[in-house]
Amino acid sequence: MTDTRITILIVDDEPEALDLLTILLERIEGISLVGRAENSDDALGQVIEKEPDLLLLDIQMPGKSGFDLAGRIRELGLNTGYIFITAFDEYAIQAVRAAAFDYLLKPVDPSELESAIGRFRQNMEQKVLGERIDDLLANLGLGPRLKLNTRTGFMVIDPMEIVCCTADGNYTEILLSNNRKETISINLGSLSKELGGGIFFRISRSSLINLRYVTHVGNKTGICRLQGESVIELKVARNRLRKLESLL
């Protein structure tokens, strides 16, 4: 990255949003707009070609999201900064905050955009970008695929495919989003540590869930309903109900 002008690529699937950001950026000194993209694949090609300092990156896009793009850029080892842009999505905002990235809510406020770019300028020489991206992807469950030993061999899965996990002695039964069940040869506690926090939450001694599949929680019954290809209901420990509510 340079010490002078900041090169910026904006990525948004809405042409009107791209036009607005272009106009707002023209009013800010010390930056150069090097490209615009309406999807993650186009954006990735431009990032590789132009190596911008900063992406103004929409989170919710058809197909591959802004988070998917950030993960691919991380895999390529490119040192690109991010300011994420989103309509109000509290879950996404929590993940971005936890990884110490700036975000802007739509419609983008001109003064907030200028302030966010100013903060990026102050911090652009910090060498912790890769670690922050890793934290962000881990919080979203978008990190590397997992290799897990089973009773007969091993399986490789995307953590996002996991709906829930239940203890089975020294083994753990995993329910995947396609309704497939697998039994792996590590206990639930060890699996919980491997998956980390973020989208995974231990609702009881015997059950771990993926928060993205939760559709309903009964405060009186303590029953948590998850929707993958099928519906599953699990009991939430009483002392975990409040924490679960805060995460949702």
When pLDDT is cut at 50, 70 and 90, the band that residue 111 belongs to is very high
Does 2 score more than 60 pLDDT?
no
pLDDT at 63: 82
Does 36 score more than 80 pLDDT?
yes
Q: Which of 2-6, 9-13, 74-78, 122-126 has the lowest mean pLDDT?
A: 122-126
Helix, strand, or coil (residue 29): coil
For 80-89, the pLDDT digits (tens) are 889 999 887 6
The single-letter code of the amino acid at 2 is T
For 161-201, the pLDDT digits (tens) are 889 999 988 999 999 988 999 999 999 998 888 776 667 89
**Average pLDDT of every residue of the chain:** 86
**Beta-strand relationship, 181-184 and 81-86:** unpaired
Does 77 score more than 90 pLDDT?
no
pTM metric for this prediction: 0.56
Residue 167 in tokens: 């203890």
Name 9's Cβ contacts closer than 8 Å, sequence gap at least 6. 33, 34, 35, 36, 37, 43, 46, 47, 50, 52, 54, 55, 56
For 127-147, the pLDDT digits (tens) are 456 667 766 776 665 555 678
Helices 15-26 and 110-123: angle between axes, nearest 10 degrees? 70
When pLDDT is cut at 50, 70 and 90, the band that residue 148 belongs to is confident
Q: Which of 1-5, 121-125, 142-146, 228-232 is predicted most confidently?
A: 228-232
Q: Backbone phi, then psi, for 127, in 5-degree steps?
A: -100, 35
pLDDT at 122: 79
Cα 177 off chain centre by? 18
Domains detected in the chain: 6-140 (3.40.50.2300), 146-247 (2.40.50.1020)
pLDDT at 131: 65
